[in-house]
Structure 1
Amino acid sequence: MGRFRRTLDTAKASWAVLQHDRELAVLPILGAIASLGVIAAIGIPIWLSTDGIDDGGSSTGSEPMLWIGGIIILFAITVITVFFNAAVVSGARERFSGGDPTISSAIKGAFSRLHVIVPWAILALTVGMVLRAIQSSDNALTRIVGSLLDMAWGVLTFLVVPILVVEQTGPFSSVRRSGELLKQTWGENLIAQVGFGIIGLVAAIPGILIFALGASAGGVGAVVGIGIGVVWIALVSVVISTLTAIFQMALYLYATTGQVPMGFESSGINDTFHERSQGPLMRGFGGGGLGGGGLGGRRF
């Protein structure tokens, strides 16, 4: 029950930041639109230029082009995903530093880190493809091992994006740094990853039910129900993604400074942080709360 309470406290604190800077939630939407644009711009021409329409892309001549196109699309989507995640993290950093982030400032913050975002995207995509290959094995034990490795990779790299934004290190250095910070934040790391996932699943249930009812209704009801369900689930995904990115920045700041970012210290999450602290915990970044001048006065 205590862990569940901590999850709610974490979500509430992140939600308070999002309420103050709602534009941060627009960034994942822009990322999704950009990803769809990449699929349309690259995927459709490749598909049309091969035998994909005639035989499902099964001919020998079309397969290499489809594979190359697929890899290019996956890489582009990975870069876009990391980029806009970094934009949200950058915006949260600006808020925690006492600023007032905008969509433009967040995107500029991520763009200035493009030189470390792209190498990290390459590593993340490579590791992800290897893990997916392991998980798709016919051997049940191998699939289990693959799932465990995938989970471990997610925990290990949880703070990589804040590290890219703040420290601007290379992919391997960022992973190593994230692992170092994991030693003092592993509890909060797991709480966030599992807890936010559960909250997202619960919040998506109405959308799932509406989708199912619409699919079984037929006719216009099916179109309306499925449409509403898809939009609901998409919005939940956007919100959870944004809340997670905000918390990643807050956790990184705590792990590297020993301070609990303003907006988190009064939510009960400070007790969780304090359990990992090696000494007296320095609280807050100055006055101001969530309103007015921002979440604090110290810049990082």
Structure 2
Amino acid sequence: MFNGNEPSIRSALANAWQRKLPLLAWSLVAAILGVIIRLVESESNIVAQIVAGIFAVAWSVMTFFIVPVIVFRDPSVTEMFKQSAQTFKDTWGESIGALGTIDVVTLLLVLVGIVLGGLTFVVTTGLGTAQLLATLLIGVTAVSVGLLVGKALSGIARTALYVYATRTTAPEYFDDIDFSKI
């Protein structure tokens, strides 16, 4: 899809597996910094909370395209952050627009899941424990599917935007999208 190959989950997982060590390193760094940010945010000191919030936003911007950078290139640790930040800088409008739209779609899918859970509750009235189990099963499953679809769409959009930013042309299958107008 993005390199002239037929898109598939198998090919995506194979590409990720080839970069497993940098992705693992990135995951560890992100997890550690996430914990540190949460610890600082939990302080009762307002200055610490503001500083943590600013750092969290800066970190999000700097690492927005980190996974596509790792998968498409073989960067050093510092290069992966620089390339991700530069790509975000080059496409900040498109990035925010695309992901804002995906967030709206994700929210709608989650709301559909909640409605399905509510309808299940109403339809199964009088079944006692079975009512609760059916409601939870259907509602939680539908909400989870909505969140997973949103996450997948977000990953696809980030990758497409990364390819667009680094090659100045829309990836195959995205030819009809004008990324500059998103």
Instruction: Sort the TM-score into its range (normalised by shorter chain).
Output: 0.7 to 0.9
* 2:90–2:165 CA contact under 8 A, matched in 1: yes
1:264 shift after superposition? 2.6
Partner of 2:155, secondary structure, is helix
Residue 195 of structure 1 pairs with residue 127 of structure 2: no
Residue 219 of structure 1 pairs with residue 125 of structure 2: no
Instruction: State the partner residue of 1:272.
Output: 181
Q: How does 1:249-288 map to 2 (within 5 A)?
A: 249-267=159-177, 269-272=178-181
1:212 shift after superposition? 5.4
Q: What is the rounded CA distance, in whole Å, between the counterparts of 1:248 and 1:206 in structure 2? A: 25
* 1:134–1:143 CA contact under 8 A, matched in 2: yes
Instruction: Quickly say closer, same or farther: Cα 1:131–1:108, change in 2 above 3 A.
Output: same
1:125 shift after superposition? 1.3
1:109 shift after superposition? 1.2
Instruction: State the partner residue of 1:29.
Output: none
Partner of 2:55, secondary structure, is helix
Amino acid at match of 2:57: M
Partner of 1:181, secondary structure, is helix
TM-score, normalised by the number of residues in structure 1: 0.53
Amino acid at match of 1:186: W
Instruction: State the partner residue of 1:24.
Output: none
* 1:120–1:170 CA contact under 8 A, matched in 2: no
Greater Cα radius of gyration, structure 1 or 2: 1
* 1:155–1:189 CA contact under 8 A, matched in 2: no
**Of 108, 114, 124, which residue of structure 1 is paired with 2:30?**
124
The alignment-based identity, stated in percent, is 28
Residue 135 of structure 1 pairs with residue 41 of structure 2: yes
Q: What is the rounded CA distance, in whole Å, between the counterparts of 2:38 and 2:118 in structure 1? A: 29
Query: Higher RCO, 1 or 2 (CA under 8 Å, sep at least 6)?
Result: 1
Instruction: State the partner residue of 1:114.
Output: 20
Instruction: Quickly say closer, same or farther: Cα 1:208–1:143, change in 2 above 3 A.
Output: farther
Provide the alpha-carbon RMSD of the alignment: 2.5
Q: What is the rounded CA distance, in whole Å, between the counterparts of 2:150 and 2:95 in structure 1? A: 15
1:187 shift after superposition? 1.0
Instruction: State the partner residue of 2:84.
Output: 178
Instruction: State the partner residue of 1:21.
Output: none
TM-score, normalised by the number of residues in structure 2: 0.84
Instruction: Quickly say closer, same or farther: Cα 1:104–1:206, change in 2 above 3 A.
Output: closer
* 1:203–1:236 CA contact under 8 A, matched in 2: yes
* 2:106–2:150 CA contact under 8 A, matched in 1: yes
Q: What is the rounded CA distance, in whole Å, between the counterparts of 1:270 and 1:102 in structure 2? A: 23
1:221-256 CA distances to partner (integer Å, 9 max, x unpaired)?
111111111111111111111111111111111111
Q: What is the rounded CA distance, in whole Å, between the counterparts of 1:172 and 1:147 in structure 2? A: 23
Q: How does 1:58-137 map to 2 (within 5 A)?
A: 95-137=1-43
**Of 127, 152, 167, which residue of structure 2 is paired with 1:242?**
152
Amino acid at match of 1:97: N
**Gapped regions of structure 1 (runs ≥ 5):** 1-94, 274-300
State the aligned residue count. Answer: 178
